[in-house]
Amino acid sequence: MAAEIVNQKDGLEPDVIDPAFALHRGGKMAVQATVPVRDADDLSLAYTPGVAKVCSAIAEQPELVDDYTWKSQVVAVVTDGSAVLGLGDIGPGASLPVMEGKAILFKQFGGVDAVPLALDTQDTDEIVATVQRLAPSFGGVNLEDISAPRCFEIEARLKEKLDIPVFHDDQHGTAIVTLAALRNAAKLSDRALGSLRAVISGAGAAGVAIAKILVEAGIGDVAVCDRKGVVSRDRGDLTQVKRDLAGFTNKGNRTGSLESVLEGADVFIGVSGGTVPEEAVARMAEDAFVFAMANPNPEIHPDVARKYASVVATGRSDYPNQINNVLAFPGVFAGALQVRATDITEGMKLAAAEALAAVVADELSADRVIPSPFDERVAPAVTSAVAAAARAEGVARR
CA–CA gap between residue 344 and residue 128 (Å, rounded): 18
User: Which residues are designated catalytic?
Assistant: 47, 102
CA–CA gap between residue 135 and residue 89 (Å, rounded): 25
**From the CA atom positions of the chain, what is the Rg in Å?**
23
Environment class of 199 (CB within 10 Å of its CB; exposed 0-12, middle 13-18, buried 19+): buried
Name the DSSP class of 368. Answer: B
What residue numbers does the annotated binding site for (S)-malate cover? 295, 324
What residue numbers does the annotated binding site for a divalent metal cation cover? 144-145, 170
What residue numbers does the annotated binding site cover? 144-145, 170, 295, 324
CA–CA gap between residue 352 and residue 375 (Å, rounded): 15
Phi, psi angle pair for 66, to nearest 5°: -70, -30
Q: Are strands 113-118 and 166-168 parallel, antiparallel or unpaired?
A: unpaired
Sign of torsion over alpha carbons 319, 103, 29, 70? positive
Name the DSSP class of 87. Answer: T
Q: Among 177, 172, 171, which residue's Cα sits nearest to residue 359?
A: 177
Strands of 221-226's sheet, edge to edge? 229-230, 221-226, 197-201, 267-270, 288-292, 309-314
